[in-house]
A and B are shown apart, each in its own frame.
Chain A
Amino acid sequence: MPVERGRRRPLAASLVRGAALGAGLAAAGAVRRWVDVVEVHGGSMAPALLAGDWLVIERRTYERRGPRVGEVVLAPDPREPSRELVKRVAAVDPVAGLIELRGDAPDASTDSRDFGAVPTASVRWRAVARYWPADRVGWLRPPGAG
Protein backbone atom coordinates (compact mmCIF):
# COMPACT_ATOMS: atom_id res chain seq x y z
CA MET A 1 0.00 0.00 0.00
CA PRO A 2 2.71 2.58 0.77
CA VAL A 3 4.07 2.02 -2.72
CA GLU A 4 0.64 2.81 -4.23
CA ARG A 5 0.34 6.03 -2.24
CA GLY A 6 3.86 7.04 -3.16
CA ARG A 7 3.02 6.78 -6.82
CA ARG A 8 -0.01 8.97 -6.52
CA ARG A 9 1.80 11.74 -4.62
CA PRO A 10 3.14 14.41 -7.00
CA LEU A 11 6.89 14.39 -7.20
CA ALA A 12 7.23 18.18 -6.66
CA ALA A 13 5.25 18.09 -3.40
CA SER A 14 7.47 15.31 -2.11
CA LEU A 15 10.55 17.30 -2.92
CA VAL A 16 9.25 20.41 -1.17
CA ARG A 17 8.29 18.42 1.92
CA GLY A 18 11.61 16.66 1.92
CA ALA A 19 13.51 19.92 1.65
CA ALA A 20 11.48 21.54 4.46
CA LEU A 21 12.03 18.54 6.71
CA GLY A 22 15.72 18.55 5.90
CA ALA A 23 16.07 22.26 6.64
CA GLY A 24 14.21 21.80 9.92
CA LEU A 25 16.47 18.95 10.97
CA ALA A 26 19.56 20.91 10.00
CA ALA A 27 18.42 23.93 12.03
CA ALA A 28 17.64 21.72 15.03
CA GLY A 29 21.03 20.08 14.56
CA ALA A 30 22.83 23.45 14.54
CA VAL A 31 21.14 24.54 17.75
CA ARG A 32 21.79 21.09 19.20
CA ARG A 33 25.49 21.70 18.85
CA TRP A 34 25.25 24.59 21.30
CA VAL A 35 22.30 23.71 23.49
CA ASP A 36 20.99 20.35 24.60
CA VAL A 37 18.87 18.80 27.29
CA VAL A 38 19.89 15.98 29.61
CA GLU A 39 18.38 13.82 32.32
CA VAL A 40 20.26 13.39 35.59
CA HIS A 41 20.94 9.87 36.84
CA GLY A 42 22.35 9.13 40.27
CA GLY A 43 22.39 11.12 43.49
CA SER A 44 25.93 12.40 43.93
CA MET A 45 24.86 16.00 43.18
CA ALA A 46 22.14 16.09 45.83
CA PRO A 47 20.59 18.31 46.99
CA ALA A 48 21.28 20.67 44.04
CA LEU A 49 20.46 18.04 41.43
CA LEU A 50 18.35 14.98 42.01
CA ALA A 51 17.96 11.85 39.91
CA GLY A 52 15.33 12.50 37.27
CA ASP A 53 15.99 16.24 36.96
CA TRP A 54 15.98 17.57 33.41
CA LEU A 55 18.60 20.17 32.61
CA VAL A 56 19.44 22.60 29.86
CA ILE A 57 23.12 22.52 28.98
CA GLU A 58 25.14 24.71 26.64
CA ARG A 59 28.62 24.67 25.17
CA ARG A 60 29.16 28.25 24.01
CA THR A 61 30.61 29.56 27.28
CA TYR A 62 33.62 27.26 27.41
CA GLU A 63 34.56 28.18 23.85
CA ARG A 64 35.25 31.67 25.25
CA ARG A 65 36.65 30.93 28.70
CA GLY A 66 37.45 28.05 31.02
CA PRO A 67 35.11 26.54 33.60
CA ARG A 68 34.98 28.34 36.95
CA VAL A 69 34.78 27.01 40.49
CA GLY A 70 31.17 26.38 41.50
CA GLU A 71 29.84 25.75 37.99
CA VAL A 72 28.01 22.53 37.23
CA VAL A 73 29.64 20.86 34.26
CA LEU A 74 29.54 17.72 32.15
CA ALA A 75 32.67 15.66 31.64
CA PRO A 76 33.39 12.18 30.34
CA ASP A 77 34.17 9.71 33.12
CA PRO A 78 37.97 9.17 32.77
CA ARG A 79 37.51 5.55 33.71
CA GLU A 80 34.66 4.96 31.29
CA PRO A 81 34.59 7.72 28.65
CA SER A 82 31.25 6.64 27.18
CA ARG A 83 29.63 7.70 30.46
CA GLU A 84 29.05 11.41 30.84
CA LEU A 85 29.31 12.74 34.37
CA VAL A 86 27.65 15.77 35.87
CA LYS A 87 29.68 17.30 38.73
CA ARG A 88 30.62 20.61 40.19
CA VAL A 89 33.96 22.32 39.56
CA ALA A 90 35.83 22.27 42.89
CA ALA A 91 39.16 23.70 41.72
CA VAL A 92 40.80 24.87 38.53
CA ASP A 93 44.48 24.62 37.70
CA PRO A 94 44.91 26.77 34.57
CA VAL A 95 48.65 26.10 34.36
CA ALA A 96 48.30 22.32 34.26
CA GLY A 97 45.01 22.55 32.35
CA LEU A 98 43.24 20.41 34.92
CA ILE A 99 39.94 20.63 36.73
CA GLU A 100 38.91 19.02 40.01
CA LEU A 101 35.36 17.68 39.95
CA ARG A 102 33.35 17.04 43.06
CA GLY A 103 29.83 15.83 43.79
CA ASP A 104 27.75 18.02 46.09
CA ALA A 105 27.15 14.91 48.21
CA PRO A 106 30.79 13.98 48.91
CA ASP A 107 29.97 10.84 50.86
CA ALA A 108 28.02 9.42 47.93
CA SER A 109 30.09 10.59 45.02
CA THR A 110 32.80 9.11 42.85
CA ASP A 111 34.75 12.09 41.55
CA SER A 112 38.25 13.59 41.25
CA ARG A 113 39.09 12.27 44.70
CA ASP A 114 38.93 8.81 43.12
CA PHE A 115 39.91 9.32 39.47
CA GLY A 116 41.98 12.50 39.78
CA ALA A 117 41.62 15.83 38.02
CA VAL A 118 40.29 15.85 34.46
CA PRO A 119 41.70 17.82 31.50
CA THR A 120 40.05 21.22 31.06
CA ALA A 121 39.65 20.39 27.36
CA SER A 122 37.35 17.49 28.22
CA VAL A 123 34.89 19.81 30.00
CA ARG A 124 32.82 21.37 27.23
CA TRP A 125 29.23 21.53 28.47
CA ARG A 126 27.94 23.75 31.24
CA ALA A 127 24.64 22.97 32.98
CA VAL A 128 22.58 26.14 32.99
CA ALA A 129 19.11 25.48 34.29
CA ARG A 130 16.65 22.86 35.40
CA TYR A 131 13.32 22.75 33.54
CA TRP A 132 11.79 19.75 35.26
CA PRO A 133 10.32 19.00 37.81
CA ALA A 134 8.02 22.00 37.56
CA ASP A 135 8.36 23.06 41.19
CA ARG A 136 12.15 23.19 40.94
CA VAL A 137 12.52 25.05 37.67
CA GLY A 138 15.34 27.57 37.81
CA TRP A 139 18.89 28.57 37.05
CA LEU A 140 21.71 26.50 38.51
CA ARG A 141 23.78 28.56 40.91
CA PRO A 142 26.90 27.83 42.94
CA PRO A 143 26.06 26.41 46.38
CA GLY A 144 25.50 29.11 48.93
CA ALA A 145 24.72 31.74 46.29
CA GLY A 146 20.98 31.33 46.98
Chain B
Amino acid sequence: MQLRLPLRPIRRVHAHCDVPCGVYDPEQARIEAESCYKIIEKYHGSTDELFRARCILAKEERAELAKHHIDVLWSDYFKPEHVEKFPDLQQTCWKAAKAASKVKQTTDLEAAKDLLSLIDKIDDMWKATGGPEKTRLNGRPS
Protein backbone atom coordinates (compact mmCIF):
# COMPACT_ATOMS: atom_id res chain seq x y z
CA MET B 1 0.00 0.00 0.00
CA GLN B 2 1.25 3.45 -0.85
CA LEU B 3 2.05 5.65 2.12
CA ARG B 4 0.02 8.79 1.73
CA LEU B 5 0.44 11.85 3.88
CA PRO B 6 -2.97 13.14 4.92
CA LEU B 7 -2.32 16.52 3.29
CA ARG B 8 -1.17 15.10 0.00
CA PRO B 9 -3.54 16.01 -2.84
CA ILE B 10 -5.23 13.26 -4.81
CA ARG B 11 -6.03 15.52 -7.73
CA ARG B 12 -3.24 16.07 -10.24
CA VAL B 13 -2.66 19.04 -12.48
CA HIS B 14 -0.22 18.98 -15.36
CA ALA B 15 2.36 21.64 -16.11
CA HIS B 16 2.43 19.81 -19.36
CA CYS B 17 4.96 19.47 -22.14
CA ASP B 18 4.36 16.84 -24.83
CA VAL B 19 7.89 15.55 -24.48
CA PRO B 20 10.29 17.89 -22.77
CA CYS B 21 13.16 16.68 -24.95
CA GLY B 22 13.38 19.89 -26.96
CA VAL B 23 16.36 18.80 -29.06
CA TYR B 24 16.19 19.97 -32.66
CA ASP B 25 18.73 20.59 -35.40
CA PRO B 26 18.16 21.02 -39.15
CA GLU B 27 21.50 19.26 -39.60
CA GLN B 28 19.59 16.00 -39.22
CA ALA B 29 17.56 16.79 -42.34
CA ARG B 30 20.62 18.15 -44.11
CA ILE B 31 22.63 14.94 -43.70
CA GLU B 32 19.80 12.88 -45.22
CA ALA B 33 19.48 15.39 -48.07
CA GLU B 34 23.23 15.26 -48.72
CA SER B 35 22.96 11.47 -48.92
CA CYS B 36 20.26 11.89 -51.56
CA TYR B 37 22.47 14.27 -53.51
CA LYS B 38 25.43 11.89 -53.49
CA ILE B 39 23.29 8.88 -54.31
CA ILE B 40 21.78 10.65 -57.33
CA GLU B 41 25.30 11.50 -58.55
CA LYS B 42 26.36 7.87 -58.19
CA TYR B 43 23.17 6.70 -59.88
CA HIS B 44 23.96 8.75 -62.98
CA GLY B 45 27.60 7.65 -62.95
CA SER B 46 26.80 3.94 -63.10
CA THR B 47 25.54 1.55 -65.76
CA ASP B 48 25.11 -1.35 -63.37
CA GLU B 49 21.36 -1.87 -63.24
CA LEU B 50 21.48 -3.60 -59.87
CA PHE B 51 23.52 -0.77 -58.37
CA ARG B 52 21.15 1.80 -59.87
CA ALA B 53 18.18 -0.03 -58.40
CA ARG B 54 19.82 0.04 -54.98
CA CYS B 55 20.51 3.75 -55.39
CA ILE B 56 16.85 4.44 -55.99
CA LEU B 57 15.82 2.37 -53.01
CA ALA B 58 18.31 4.07 -50.67
CA LYS B 59 17.47 7.53 -52.01
CA GLU B 60 13.78 7.04 -51.33
CA GLU B 61 14.47 6.03 -47.74
CA ARG B 62 16.80 9.00 -47.16
CA ALA B 63 14.40 11.47 -48.77
CA GLU B 64 11.59 10.21 -46.55
CA LEU B 65 13.80 10.75 -43.48
CA ALA B 66 14.71 14.27 -44.61
CA LYS B 67 11.01 15.01 -44.99
CA HIS B 68 10.32 13.65 -41.52
CA HIS B 69 12.99 15.82 -39.92
CA ILE B 70 11.65 18.89 -41.73
CA ASP B 71 8.15 18.07 -40.46
CA VAL B 72 9.40 17.80 -36.87
CA LEU B 73 11.06 21.21 -37.05
CA TRP B 74 8.03 22.73 -38.69
CA SER B 75 5.39 21.35 -36.34
CA ASP B 76 7.34 21.03 -33.07
CA TYR B 77 10.29 23.42 -32.96
CA PHE B 78 8.89 26.52 -34.65
CA LYS B 79 6.39 28.53 -32.60
CA PRO B 80 4.00 31.35 -33.57
CA GLU B 81 6.49 33.99 -32.38
CA HIS B 82 9.02 32.56 -34.83
CA VAL B 83 6.48 32.91 -37.64
CA GLU B 84 6.01 36.54 -36.64
CA LYS B 85 9.73 37.05 -36.94
CA PHE B 86 9.98 35.16 -40.24
CA PRO B 87 6.75 35.55 -42.22
CA ASP B 88 7.97 33.11 -44.90
CA LEU B 89 8.73 30.37 -42.34
CA GLN B 90 5.62 28.31 -43.12
CA GLN B 91 6.13 28.67 -46.85
CA THR B 92 9.78 27.62 -46.57
CA CYS B 93 8.99 24.52 -44.50
CA TRP B 94 6.20 23.58 -46.86
CA LYS B 95 8.45 24.01 -49.89
CA ALA B 96 11.19 21.98 -48.20
CA ALA B 97 8.78 19.11 -47.46
CA LYS B 98 7.62 19.22 -51.07
CA ALA B 99 11.22 19.34 -52.31
CA ALA B 100 11.92 16.20 -50.26
CA SER B 101 9.00 14.50 -52.00
CA LYS B 102 10.42 15.57 -55.35
CA VAL B 103 13.79 14.04 -54.47
CA LYS B 104 11.99 10.85 -53.57
CA GLN B 105 10.18 10.74 -56.90
CA THR B 106 12.98 11.67 -59.29
CA THR B 107 16.68 11.21 -59.94
CA ASP B 108 17.07 14.90 -60.70
CA LEU B 109 20.18 16.41 -59.14
CA GLU B 110 18.60 19.87 -59.27
CA ALA B 111 15.79 18.66 -57.00
CA ALA B 112 18.38 17.56 -54.43
CA LYS B 113 20.14 20.94 -54.67
CA ASP B 114 16.82 22.67 -54.20
CA LEU B 115 16.11 20.60 -51.08
CA LEU B 116 19.53 21.41 -49.63
CA SER B 117 19.11 25.14 -50.14
CA LEU B 118 15.66 25.09 -48.50
CA ILE B 119 17.03 23.17 -45.51
CA ASP B 120 19.74 25.85 -45.26
CA LYS B 121 17.02 28.50 -45.12
CA ILE B 122 15.33 26.59 -42.29
CA ASP B 123 18.73 26.33 -40.63
CA ASP B 124 19.14 30.12 -40.76
CA MET B 125 15.76 30.61 -39.07
CA TRP B 126 16.59 27.96 -36.49
CA LYS B 127 19.85 29.75 -35.69
CA ALA B 128 18.20 33.17 -35.55
CA THR B 129 15.59 31.92 -33.08
CA GLY B 130 18.28 30.66 -30.70
CA GLY B 131 18.23 27.06 -31.93
CA PRO B 132 21.86 26.05 -31.32
CA GLU B 133 21.91 27.32 -27.73
CA LYS B 134 18.34 26.38 -26.87
CA THR B 135 17.87 23.04 -28.54
CA ARG B 136 21.24 21.28 -28.40
CA LEU B 137 22.86 20.08 -25.21
CA ASN B 138 26.04 22.07 -25.71
CA GLY B 139 25.20 24.08 -28.77
CA ARG B 140 25.86 22.66 -32.23
CA PRO B 141 29.21 20.87 -32.42
CA SER B 142 31.57 22.89 -34.59
* Chain A residues close to B by CB (< 8 Å): 36-46, 49, 51, 54-55, 57, 74, 77, 83-87, 103, 106-110, 113-114, 131-132
Contact = CB atoms under 8 A, between A and B. Distances in A.
Contacts of A107: 22, 134-135
Given A107-B22, A107-B134, A113-B80, A44 B7 contact: no
B15 interface: yes
A77 B14 contact: yes
18 contacts: A37-B11, A38-B11, A39-B9, A39-B13, A40-B14, A41-B15, A41-B16, A42-B17, A44-B17, A46-B15, A57-B13, A85-B14, A86-B14, A87-B15, A108-B22, A109-B16, A114-B18, A132-B7
Contact of A108 (B12, B13, B14, B17): B17
A36 to B, nearest CB: 6
Given A49-B15, A83-B14, A107-B134, A43 B9 contact: no
Interface string B19-48: 010100000000000000000000000000
Contacts of A36: 9, 11
A46 B22 CA distance: 15
B15 A131 contact: no
Interface centre among B11, B14, B79, B134 (most CB of A within 10 A): B14
A29 to B, nearest CB: 14
Interface residues of B, number: 18
A40 B14 CA distance: 6
Contacts of B22: 107-108
B14 A43 contact: no
A39 B14 contact: no
A43 B17 contact: yes
Contact of B8 (A39, A46, A103): A39
A46 B20 CA distance: 12
Given A108-B20, A113-B80, A103 B7 contact: no
Contacts of B135: 107
Contacts of A103: 15-17
Contacts of A109: 15-17
